[in-house]
Each structure stands twice: as structure tokens, then as C-alpha cells.
Structure 1
Amino acid sequence: MKAVKTIVWLGMLTLFISTGSFAQNREDSENTETLKNAFEDKFYIGTALNAWQVSGRKPEEIQVVKKHFNSIVAENIMKSGRLQAEQGKFDFDLADQFVEFGEKNGMHIHGHTLIWHSQAPRWFFTDEQGNQISKEELTRRMKDHISTVVGRYKGRIDSWDVVNEAIEDDGSYRESKFYQILGKDFIKLAFQFAHEADPQAKLYYNDYSMSKPGKRDGVVRMVKELKEEGIHIDGIGMQGHIGMSHPELSEMEKSIQAFSELGEVSITELDLSVLPSPWGDAGAEISKNYEYEDKMNPFPDGLPEDVNRQFTERYLEFFKLFIKYQDKIERVTLWGVNDGNSWKNNWPVRGRTDYPLLFDRQNQPKPIVDSLINLTR
């Protein structure tokens, strides 16, 4: 009788232990259901951080970042107009906090962006009298800015967008102030200065509408020319400002194939707008803005279920493509943490309500998050 009781007791103990272990394993399993773990053996999954997040004023959003992402990029705080608003006076406060956050949490850190015409400080191209500066002076100012910024974070920032948006959709060079003063050599000089400042950092060219054949050909031609001159370029960033009907997936695939022959590919600035576009393509020319009309803001109170479903299916199409080329793609980076802090709410039409990211305005994961995790299994 005693032996029987002992067997029963041992059986109950075993059941208790196994049940407890099962509960623990279940909890551990739930804790690992994150985007960064799902894509761990494929590519970095990243997000852009804004000033409020970096400075600690949005802790609930930072928790989402820590849980789901393993790569970060600064949305605006590392652009030249923010870092050096006045000539020779650098403000690295927020940039330092951004880098320290990435280091503390073991993240891949990407710098954005060293040379970009759109948010360069006004003084960059003129002298004290307001006259346009010479080639030599612009070269000196570029070198000073790039050397100071990249040098400060040498060995700490993994990769940089060295030049941003220098090619037009037809493949020609953009007639920016950099181009007007230095010609296309400003691109070569920027990469030279960045590589000199940190030879170990990966250097990228970054642009939007990269699925368009004209732009694709222009970027390929430019990068080939630079590489033939011995310029160090590691990869090409394809901005992912996409819509529900553009770009065509086949054209996106052609661009991934073409760019991967020149180096690494990263999908950058990814967001999926569900709102109508004034011009119907995937452009991101921030100088273009349009007046608000109600018809351009069809979902101010939330997305209908059918649009939510289309949104999920559209994102899945692109991520299936990214997974297909995972050996070519280094990282996929969302342009923001949640819908509420996406730039798409105010561009190209100010005051709209858009839903372009993976987390809603309450920082809750949308159905697409589970769908992406399931996609990787």
C-alpha cells in the first residue's frame, strides 16, 4: 500500500513539474515572438527613432523598439541642418543619446544622413555676404562636416547614408546646390571623406522611387562609375515609401537584383500608405506639398476591415520578396515606430490620418506583425 502511495505521489510530482515546465516554456515561447527574433537569421529589422523617443519622452514607444527591433536609424536628428545649424557649432546632444541607446541595447546603428540637399543648413552654400561659395570652399565645408560627424562616432556607428537623393526619377543628376557648385564630383568627395573618417563603417547611397527603371539605371550607372574610380561604396539603400498599388512588385525585384550586383542592399524608410496620393506614385520629394481636401483623408476614424486586410496582404507581398533575397539584403528598416509618429500623416498633404506602420497609435501590434512572424517559420 505504501508503495502504491509512493508511486501516486511521484506521478503527481512529475505531472506538477512537467506542467510547470510547460507553462514556463509557453511563457518563454511567447516572449520570443518578436520581429527581431523571427528575422534573426535573415536580415536586421530596424526602425527610425525621433527626438522625443531618443530623449526619453516616449518610453512606451521605446519599449516597442527594444522588444521588436535590432537596428535603429535617426529620423532627423543626425541630418546636417540639425547637427550644425550654425557654421562650426555642432550640437551632438541628441545624436549622442541615440548612439548610446543603440550601444546599450546591442543594436545595429545606422547614421542618416551626411550629405542631403533638402535639410542642409542655409549657410552651407553661401558666404557672409550671401553669395554662392566656390568649389574649393564647399569641398572644405563638406570635408569638415563629414570628418567631424563620422569621426566622432568612429567604430560606434555601423553604417552611414553618405549621400541621399542625388538622382532624379529619369536617372539624371538632381540640380541641387551641391551639384550646381561641384557637379557630380560632390558624391565622390562625400564618400571619400566618409571612408577616410572611418574606414570600417559601411557606406551607402540612399534614394526613393528606386523601383522606377529610369532611376534604377541612373543609380547603377553612377555607382559603377564611382567604383571604377576606386571609390568605396558598400551598398545601396532603397527607400520603401510604398502605397497600396505602387510600386509594382516586379520592378522592385528588378532593382534588388540590379543593386545587389554592386554591393549590399538595404530596404530603408519603409512605410505603406493607405491614403490616396496626389500624383499616384511612390515619390518622397518633401518639397512637394498639397492642400488638404476631405477626399484625400478617407479614414480619419480608423481603417475599414477590408482595407486592413489589404494592408496586411500588401506588406506580406513585399516581405516575401525581401525574404526571397535575404542573402542580398542587409536590413529592412521601418520609417517610424507607430502610426502616430509617422511623417505620412503630414506629407504630402498636411493633417491627414494615415496607418503606414506595423504598430498602431496605442503601440499595439497590428495583425501584420503576427503574419510576418508566421511568414518566417
Structure 2
Amino acid sequence: MQKHTKILLYLALGLTPILTSLAHAQTDLARADFDGNRKVDIQDFLAFAAAFGKTSSEEGFDSRMDFNGDNTVNIQDFLAFVAVFGQSVELKDLADYPVGVSLQTKYLTDDTRVSIVKKTFSSITGGWEMKPKPISTGPGTYNWRRADALVDFAEANNMQVHGHTLLWHNAVPTWMENFSGDDAAFEAAIKEYITTVVQRYRGRVVSWDVVNEGIDGTGKVRDNLFSQRMGNDYIARLFQYAREADPDVLLFYNDYGTSQPWARAKRAGMLNMLDDFQTRGIPIDGVGLQMHISYKSPDISAIRETIDEIVRRGLKLHISELDIRINPDGDLSEPTQERLELQKKRVIEIVTAFHQVPEAQRFGITIWGIADPDTWLIQAGRSQGRPEWPLLFDDHLQPKPAYDGFIEALQNRGH
């Protein structure tokens, strides 16, 4: 080993504990993984040492190692490299868009889950805490405790927050259901609610799902409390109220099943609504496709078709609630390697389709839960009593082949 390489190695070993806390502020972790093995290790160090001292005019100069861009691989670049030496490259380090996870406050006291979230993801979506039912305790009265806890956690860990959701027919506070005033008073109360919530988190929440699942299976506005009290154009007015409350926040419409064979009418209804909004100048920035799918349905061509329709309208795309069932027919009592590999293949298909969206329209991909035991399919009884394993981490909180598939799709972009 050359003398300067030994000196750099000794310095690296001594400085790493000091600089690790500054890693993400100083260095692109994925960039420092020169050999692409998902860890900044001794092989990367030896490659860096071989280029140390080189300028852009010399043979052997490698621009990947010139972290500060001054055309020389020097001591500043060495300090940047040391800051991430020994660390693993995770999903958020490889992606040039937010990779998110739905999170509930009950998991904030679970050290293992918190560690997974902090290492793996760059964005969080409230799984329940930012919906109307837990926040709004009465007209003009609010319980911010759990929503604040999620936003505080995200800010403490340099993560963005996607707000989910301002209104959803399945998370209606009791006072809204029992509201005794006339329809105009009801709408005024809803506007006050939206204004208060959006303004509270202005500058802290980058985006909101304004309405969740507002179109029914026939393609019409869903018959619910809000359409009954405010009329079928209520969705447009809610987007306007949200924009008035925060001119800078991104506003999304979020829905499920729009690529399923049974949902052609629903997808057409959603697209017609988007066209109407754009014609009338209703403020909308993007669409969330929930992507609760299985390893075998819907076909990836149908998913791409839906994505293309959103892209064609110039809107941002959020794969907003991704999970992939491997037991939709109930034929498994435990996951098999074959199904886990098919789940991995499905992840690769979805992530690859997302990468074909123009960069400016890629809002992000959010996984709907941390680990398999946390899935809403089990907790909300939506698996019909069948066991299910739809997420990236298993029952033991270890990464699954699906996680590796996400990594592979990120590493193979453009290949």
C-alpha cells in the first residue's frame, strides 16, 4: 500500500465517527459508492486514494471523487468521503425523487421501525393522523398532537411531509355527520377546517391530498356527505379553498383502482374531472395513484396507460400508497420464495414505469407501511382473513426481495 494511501486510511478511520453526523449534509452517499455494491467500503476508499491529488487535466482524475467540483481531488473531497465511509446505500440515497412511507405515531416509540424509516425513506405520509377524524374534534376545535408529532419527526430527520388527506368520506368527524346548520353553513365550516389545517402546516407540509377517493366505480362523483351537502362540484371548491390557504403547497387528487380492468369508467370519470379542472383553472398540481395491487393484477400495460394519461395533462405523478399482495387468492399460509420473487418483479415494473415519467412530473413513490405486520390490509380487515405480506420489510423487519427490486430498478435507470 502506498504511503499516502496508508495516511489517508488512518485519517479516515479516525475522522469517520466525527463526521458521520454530517454525512447527508455534505456528501451524496450513493455517489461515494464508486463500485455500486451499496456500501461505502474499503474498495471505494482504495479507488478514492488512487485518484487523490489528481486534477482534471491529469490522467486518473475521476470527477465522481471531486465532491466539491473544484476540478481537484483534494482534502475537502477526502473529508466529504470520510463523512459517509462505512455506511450502506439505501433507497433514498439512490433516488433523485422522494421515496416515502406511510407512518403512524404509534411506531415512533419502536426503535427498530424508526431506524428503518430514517435510513430508508426521505418522505412520510400520515397513515391516519392527518385525516379529518383524528384532527377535528368539533367546529373550530382541533387536536393537533399526533399530526404535529409526525411533522416534528420528519423535520428532525430531514424528511418531507405529504399531507393525507384534507377530506375523505371514510374519515368524517362525528360533528360533520351531525351538522345541524343549513348547507351554506356546512360548507363554511368545511372551508374553515381546510383553511385552518393547511395554514397550520404551511411551509412544513410540501403537498396535500385535497380529496381522497372522490370518484365512484361508475365514474361519477361519489355520493357521500360532502356531495349531498355541497353539490357535485364540491371537489373543485375544496381545491380552491386549499390554494387560498397556501399558494405554494402542491395539491393532489388521490384515488385507487384506476388501472384495474373493472375500473375503466372510474378512470374515465377521474380524467374527465382533471380535464374540467384544467379548463376552468381549478388549481391542481398532481394525481396520486394509490397502487394497491397484487403480484398478478392489473397488467403493467394498464398501469402505464393510466400514468401516460396523467403525464399528458402535465400533472405531477405520485405513486402514493404502494403495496403488492402475494396472497390475493388465499392459497398461502406463509410467503413462498416464488411469490416473493414475483413481488420483486412487480416492484421493478412499477418503479421502472415511474422512471419513464418526465423528471419534472415525478413527485415520488410512497410505500403504504413499514413492514408486513403493519399493513392496513390486515389491520383494517381488508384481507378477508387471509394472511398477507405486501411491503418491503418482512415480519422480522428485514428487507425482502421486493426491497432489492426497488434498489435494482434505481440502479438500472437508463440501462
> Cα offset for 1:166?
0.7
Alignment partner for residue 336 of structure 2, among 273, 295, 304? 304
**Percent of aligned positions that are identical:** 32
Paired residues for 1:152-163 under 5 Å: 152-163=200-211
Report SS of the residue matched to 1:193: helix
1:341 maps to a residue whose letter is D
Specify the alignment match of 1:196 in structure 2.
Answer: 244
Q: Does the C-alpha gap of structure 1 residues 29 and 167 become closer, same or farther in structure 2, counting only changes over 3 Å? A: farther
Aligned to 1:215: 266
Contact conserved, 1:273 with 1:344, CA < 8 A, in 2? no
**Structure 2 residue matching 1:272: 3-state secondary structure:** strand
Q: Does 1:324 align with 2:343?
A: no
Task: Write out aligned runs for 1:102-117 (5 A).
Answer: 102-117=154-169
User: Deviation at 1:189?
Assistant: 1.6
In the alignment of these two chains, the number of paired residues is 339
Asked if 1:264 is matched to 2:297, the reply is no
User: Does 2:124 correspond to 1:72?
Assistant: yes
**CA distances 1:172-222 after superposition (whole Å, capped 9, x unpaired):** 111111112222221112111111111100000000012133222111111
Matches of 1:107 and 1:360 in 2, distance apart? Answer: 23
Answer yes or no: is the 8 Å Cα contact 2:215–2:222 preserved in 1. Answer: yes
1:16 CA drift (Å): 4.0
User: In the alignment, residue 38 of structure 1 is paired with which amino acid?
Assistant: L
Q: Given the superposition, is the C-alpha separation of residues 317 and 29 from structure 1 closer, same or farther in structure 2, using an over 3 Å criterion?
A: farther
Determine which of 158, 175, 179 is the counterpart of 2:227: 179
Q: Secondary structure at the match of 1:157?
A: coil
Would you say 1:45 and 2:99 are equivalent positions? Answer: yes
CA contact (8 A) 2:311 2:357 kept: no
Paired residues of 2:392 and 2:402 also in contact (CA < 8 A): yes
2:227 partner amino acid: Y
Would the aligned equivalents of 2:130 and 2:165 in 1 still touch at CA under 8 Å?
yes
CA distance in 1, matches of 2:210, 2:331: 35
Task: Tell me what 2:42 maps to.
Answer: 23
CA distance in 1, matches of 2:347, 2:358: 16
Task: Quote the residue 1:242 is aligned against.
Answer: 293
Specify the alignment match of 1:283 in structure 2.
none
- Unmatched 5+ stretches in structure 2: 13-40, 46-81
Q: CA deviation at 1:163?
A: 0.7
- Over 3 Å counting, the alpha-carbon distance change for 1:247 and 1:112 in structure 2 is same
Instruction: Report if aligned partners of 2:345, 2:405 keep a CA contact under 8 Å in 1.
Output: no
Deviations 1:135-177 (A, max 9, x none): 2022111111101111111111100000110101231111111
1:83 matched to 2:102? The reply is no
Q: Is the 1:297–1:353 Cα contact (8 Å) retained in structure 2?
A: no
Letter in 2 for 1:343: W
* Structure 2: distance between partners of 1:307 and 1:104: 37
Code of the aligned partner of 2:308: Q
For residue 73 of structure 1, report the CA deviation from its aligned partner.
0.6
- Counterparts of 2:8 and 2:189, CA distance in 1: 67
Alpha-carbon shift at residue 12 of structure 1 (Å)? 6.7
* Aligned equivalents of 2:284, 2:374: Cα separation in 1: 32
Root mean square deviation, CA, Å? 2.2
Structure 1 CA distance for aligned equivalents of residues 275 and 362 of structure 2? 19
Contact map agreement 1:237 1:266 (CA 8 A) in 2: yes
What is the identity, as a one-letter code, of the residue corresponding to 1:371? G
- Cα distance in structure 2, aligned partners of 1:12 and 1:310: 48
> Which deviations, in whole Å up to 9, do the C-alpha atoms of 1:286-332 show, x marking residues without a partner?
xxxxxxxxxx3722xx3112112212112212112112225232110
**Quick check: 1:125–1:138 contact (8 Å CA) kept in 2?**
no
Equivalent residue of 2:290, what SS? strand
Provide the secondary structure at the position in 1 that maps to 2:141.
coil
Contact 2:392 2:399 in 1 (8 A): yes
Of 28-37 and 235-244, deviating more is: 28-37
Structure-2-length-normalised TM-score? 0.77
2:188 and 2:220 map into 1 onto residues whose CA distance is 26
Corresponding residue SS for 1:85: strand
Q: Which whole-Å deviations, capped at 9, do the CAs of 1:229-270 have from their partners, x for residues lacking one?
A: 221111111111011221111111111111123311111111
Q: 2:394 aligns with which of 355, 360, 377?
A: 360
Does structure 1 residue 252 correspond to structure 2 residue 303? yes
Distance in 2 separating the partners of 1:58 and 1:338: 12
Counterpart residue number, 1:288: none
TM-superposed CA distance for 1:350, in Å, is: 5.3
Determine whether 1:119 maps to 2:139.
no
Query: Residue in 1 aligned with 2:70?
Result: none
8 Å Cα contact 1:38/1:376 also seen in 2: yes
Give the Cα separation in 2 of the matches to 1:47 and 1:34: 14
Using the alignment, how far apart are the partners of 1:30 and 1:210 within structure 2? 43
Q: Say if 1:61 and 1:363, in contact at 8 Å, map to a contact too.
A: yes
Deviation of 1:87 after TM superposition, in Å, equals 3.2
Tell me, yes or no, if the aligned pair for 2:105 and 2:149 is still in contact at 8 Å: no
> Cα distance, 1:14 vs. partner?
5.3
